[in-house]
Chain A
Amino acid sequence: MLEVRGLTKSFGGLKAVSDASLDVAEGAIVGLLGPNGAGKTTCFTMIAGFTRADAGSVRFLGQDITGLEPHRICALGMIRTFQIVQPFAGLSVQENIAVGAYLHHHDRRDAMRVARDIGRRLGMGTMLDRPASALTIAGRKRLELARALATGAKLLLLDEVMAGLIPAEVSEIVGIIRQIRDDGHTFLLIEHVMQAVMSLAETAYVLNHGRMIAHGRPRDLVKDQAVIEAYLGHGAAARLQQEAGHA
């Protein structure tokens, strides 16, 4: 569904992302992992058209979308959410979701009805009339997801929807994402919460210093030497093995 090839981006002298490639198959949940500053969000912004890549290509549903404007990419059926949630604070929850729904429902009544349905599906039925600014962080993350769904997107790029949530909220949102996937959507998610990645993603990519260093099933990745070193520092894998040997 999504094929990213050789994506590269420099900010001044810093290579934020270099030669990153990844594939997302239809109906899959794919994780994109990596320590802070690895270039995950930069990857997302390039894929979704928010920043222009220096090199590389993005194909979505067989079509080359490299360098397209975000709104065009969204119209094709791919949408990103933001790591720092971006609600329309002055609008109600339902109106927020309706802004997404307007993409394919030009009439106000249709858009508001779709917004209500999606809001209820994501467990926000009682909050529809509340201003978005009154939501808790968990509520805002949910709203971000609902708004993205309302655009009718097939592929959702979620940037850390679980960061800052307590475990109970994480498992709720994990359930919601599963349910949405079963309805026929595909996910690419940046995630720090390992519990979530392990239980959600079938495959994951690991990015470090802008390079893809590993790719595979999450439960294999956590044993991967390069991945452990990326997270815990040089030599950490060897030390861990030693300690395991002693114990």
Chain B
Amino acid sequence: MKPQSLGQALLIGLSLVYLAAVYVMTSSVWMGFTINALVIVVVAISWNVTGGFGGLASFGHAAMYGTGAYASAILQVQYGINAWPAFLAGILAGAAMGAFIGALAFRYGLKGSYFALVTLAFAEVLRICASSFSLFGGGSGLQLKLTPGIAQLQIASRPMIYTILLAAVALSLALTALMQRSRFGAYLVAVRENEDAARALGIDTYRIKVQAMALSGALAGLAGALYLQLWLFIDSTIVYGSAISVEALIGPIIGGAGTVWGPLVGTLGLHLLGEGAKHLLSNAPGLNFVLYALVLLGALRFLPQGLMGAAASFGPFRKKEDHDA
């Protein structure tokens, strides 16, 4: 968890300073924007568990994110269950979906691009199912009844929402950091580095991979359930769409996959960049994705270890530039 160099400390510090500064910024635009970015940060941290530490690059994290959101929404809208247990159920549903996809894919030994494709297929199938079945609200989605107050986890105050999201991010980061220093984390990295050697050393690699998917799914489910409580509305494209899957992996890759802070640094940096570009170059919708693609290409070419990796090996002089890029 500790930064390995001045450069990494600077990257992390800049991110934290920005997150703190949002509280005192006069324009509420920044807080709204950062709230949305933080939901994605949680998804990115979730992706990093499997994709970064485990080397199991998923292209369909929307499957777990959406399942978390839908499970919570269905319980609240269709069955009238209180938001708190529904919220917890969303997390569990995300974990279950992750474990299910993992159990199936790893049972048949899928890895690399095959695993990525299968996760993508899962997310798409779920999206189509959700838009067809009335339990999921069909094409019109699910809308929570507006009942402001902590009892139904519907918070009107922006700073309060922001604080809750910061807490969720902190919790996810702490979980990753704990994992990194645990036996489970060491085994997961061993599986990433060399699965045969891991098996020889007594590691039940199948179990480790499924557990990683469950943990990742729980975090993605948490993000999905948070999104629902923020906007009180979801539909199949919003939560099962491929945009979420792409955003889940792009931040960690740019920030540094397999590092604790990488997903936060990468996702925040990317969203700031996208937001800045939107303001500068008029509000062309989807423009941020074009920019993300360019940044991703650049990162893959010049920063294969992501910002955190580059910051570890270069002097502190480079760090600030990297973050701005």
Contact = CB atoms under 8 A, between A and B. Distances in A.
Given A71-B204, A88-B193, A89-B193, A108 B186 contact: yes
Given A88-B190, A99-B190, A106 B183 contact: yes
B202 A74 contact: yes
A82 B201 contact: no
Given A88-B189, A88-B193, A147 B183 contact: no
B182 A74 contact: no
Contacts of A106: 183
A75 B189 contact: no
A124 B182 CA distance: 24
A82 B187 contact: no
Given A69-B204, A71-B203, A75-B202, A91 B193 contact: yes
B197 A74 contact: no
Contacts of A71: 199, 202-205
B202 A79 contact: yes
Nearest to A88: B193
Contacts of B204: 69, 71
Contacts of B199: 50, 69-71
B4 to A, nearest CB: 12
Nearest to A86: B197
Contact of B186 (A70, A80, A86, A102): A102
B194 A87 contact: yes
Instruction: With a 10 A CB-CB cut-off, give which of B186, B198, B201, B204 has the most chain A CB atoms.
Output: B201
24 contacts: A48-B200, A50-B196, A50-B199, A69-B204, A70-B202, A71-B204, A71-B205, A81-B200, A86-B197, A87-B197, A88-B189, A89-B193, A90-B193, A98-B186, A99-B187, A99-B190, A99-B203, A100-B202, A102-B187, A103-B201, A107-B183, A108-B186, A111-B186, A148-B201
10 cross-chain pairs, A with B, having the tightest CB-CB distances, nearest first: A74-B202, A88-B193, A86-B197, A103-B202, A70-B199, A99-B190, A102-B183, A71-B204, A100-B201, A86-B194
